[in-house]
Amino acid sequence: MMVSEADLKTVILNDDQCFLMYFIMGNYFGPDIKGETSQKSILQRVAEGLPPYTLNQLTSSFLKVVELERVYYSILQNADKSLTVELPSLHCFFQGQAQCVHADYPQFPDLFPPQFHPQSQIRNPNPFKIIHKLVFINNPDTSYIKPDEVERFKRLSGVQDLHVHRDAPRLQLPCFGGDDVVCDTTNMLSGGKAEPNGNKSLSYTSSQKPRSSDDDDSLQCVDVVAPVSNGGNVMCRYMASENESDSDKVGPAMLFFPSRPSKKEWSEIVGATKSGFALTGSAAMGQVGPIIGLMDIGECEDSFLFRVSLPGVKRDETEFSCEVDIDGKVLISGVTKTGEETVSRYSQVFEMQTHNLCPPGHFTITFQLPGPVDPHKFSGNFGTDGILEGIVMKGKCT
């Protein structure tokens, strides 16, 4: 679904629609701050007068934009349809470009400044957009919210309390418009019974693929991050102009073949690239994107297992650490030693022609295990194959 600038100009949101977007994003999401045992929403931090956080206080975690979409639509699944905005308007709210009757409500970039929470896109076989250093809070504290705002939210949304299923970001989207949208009427609020789709990580997989902003026109256009609101409108998609010259460069891209090419055709395609490379067989079945931080998570009756890909990371204990918190959050810190401009080996100096590996420097990786754990019963091994494997016993649910 393409969104034109003219369309965006004509979609004027009413006061209730803007209030609901502001209330949900401000109370169910907050900055992911290192070492915070009790995570607070951004509006709770403001209400309590907490000092502004800095970039160094934030973790390297992220949420997919589609996960924010799922939370919004799941909370409003029982609301009147006229109060729920469609995806283009929700995306424009994320970019600070929603057209509201009243401009009293802060939009997403006002709540989460882009310098702390940038929006970007992961280039996987199924590209998806992310927002950095953000955490989902499924049971927000309501003591700081004005009672009249809580009552208004309950009246408009149709919910009885603000507790949302903890797996709401990973569950299938409810209907949000259009007959061809895959629907799921499962109640994801505290009173309903919901089952996740079987994938316990934050990645979303399903035999039924819901429509999201990242699925539409994937071969025709490229998603771009729009600027923060400045009073103007925004094009949510960019399409290459037909009259662009041959010298114009294409950004990160993928080729789609309607049928399998022959070995000769494949060789010719690879040969036409400059410093490109090809993957076939099992190597092509893995996830394409950042090579550091790819992970698998497993679970048995009494413990969790995780494996994290860390190629090119120093294994020296003085520069590498893996910490597990009681709530299941895992923090990995280390130093990469790849991606140099030049590499010296013996008496030779090589000038690198490609830079596909991670640049040298410090990094952190944060992810969440499916449940609480006992940090004292954690064992890990960082092998020479570049795979960190950890096993930690489950903790008691509180």
CA 315 to chain CA centroid, Å, is 28
H helix or E strand, kind and range, residue 134: strand 134-136
Give the pLDDT score at 21: 95
Q: Is the pLDDT of residue 109 over 90?
A: yes
Mean pLDDT of the chain: 75
79-85 mean pLDDT:
92
How much is the pLDDT for 235? 28
The residues, any chain, with a CB within 8 Å of residue 120's CB and separated by 6 or more, are 129, 130, 132, 225
Range picked from 58-62, 251-255, 282-286 for highest mean pLDDT = 58-62
Of the listed ranges 55-64, 159-168, 280-289, the least confidently predicted one is 280-289
Q: What Rg, from alpha-carbon coordinates, does the chain have?
A: 23
Q: Which has the minimum average pLDDT: 99-113, 294-308, 372-386?
A: 99-113
The C-alpha atoms of residue 98 and residue 20 are separated, in whole angstroms, by 13
pLDDT at 41: 94
Angle, vertex CA 144, rays to CA 138 and CA 149, nearest 5: 85
Number of other CB atoms surrounding residue 240 within 10 Å: 11
State the pLDDT at residue 101: 79
Rounded to whole angstroms, how far apart are CA atoms 45 and 137? 13
Report whether pLDDT(36) > 80: yes
Residue 19: CB atoms within 10 Å: 20
What is the arithmetic mean of pLDDT over 261-278? 70
**What single-letter DSSP state applies at residue 250?**
P
Residue 258 confidence class, pLDDT cut points 50, 70, 90: low
Q: Is the predicted pLDDT of residue 132 greater than 90, yes or no?
A: yes
pLDDT beyond 50 at 239: no
